[in-house]
Amino acid sequence: MEEKISEAIKNAIEGAPERKFVESLDIAFTIKDVDLKNPNNRIQEEIRLPHGRGKEIKVAMFAASDAAQKAKAAGIHVIDPAEIEELGKKKGNAKKLANSYDFFLSEVPHMGLIGRYLGVVLGPRGKMPRPVPPVVDPSVIASGLQSTTVIKSRDKITFQASFGTRNQSHEELLKNAMEVYNRVTSKLERGVGNIRSLYIKTSMGPANKIEVIN
CATH number at residue 123: 3.40.50.790
For residue range 64-79, list pLDDT tens digits in order: 989 999 999 999 999 9
Residues 107 and 36 in one domain: no
Residues 50 and 66 in one domain: no
Look at residues 145, 166, 182 and tell me which one is the last residue of a structural domain: 145
Nearest to 33 by CA among 211, 214, 186, 189: 189
For residue range 13-67, list pLDDT tens digits in order: 998 888 888 899 999 999 999 999 999 999 999 999 999 999 989 999 999 989 9
Task: List phi, psi (to 5°) of 126.
Answer: 70, 30
How many structural domains does the chain have?
Answer: 2
For residue range 83-105, list pLDDT tens digits in order: 999 999 888 899 999 999 999 99
b/e burial code for range 63-98 (CB count within 10 A of at least 16 → b):
beeebbebbeebebebbebeebeebbeeeeebeebb
For residue range 133-191, list pLDDT tens digits in order: 999 999 999 999 999 999 999 899 999 999 999 999 999 999 999 999 999 999 999 99
Residues 169 and 65 in one domain: no
Distance CA 71, CA 121 (A): 23
Contact 173, 167 (CB under 8 A): no
SS3 assignment, position 157? coil
Name the residue range of residue 98's domain.
Answer: 59-145
Residues 126 and 94 in one domain: yes
Look at residues 102, 121, 145 and tell me which one is the last residue of a structural domain: 145
Edge-to-edge strands, sheet with 103-107: 77-79, 59-62, 103-107, 130-132
Look at residues 91, 112, 145 and tell me which one is the last residue of a structural domain: 145
Q: What is the CATH number of the domain that holds 160?
A: 3.30.190.20
User: pTM for this structure?
Assistant: 0.85
Contact 53, 146 (CB under 8 A): yes
214 has a pLDDT exceeding 70: no
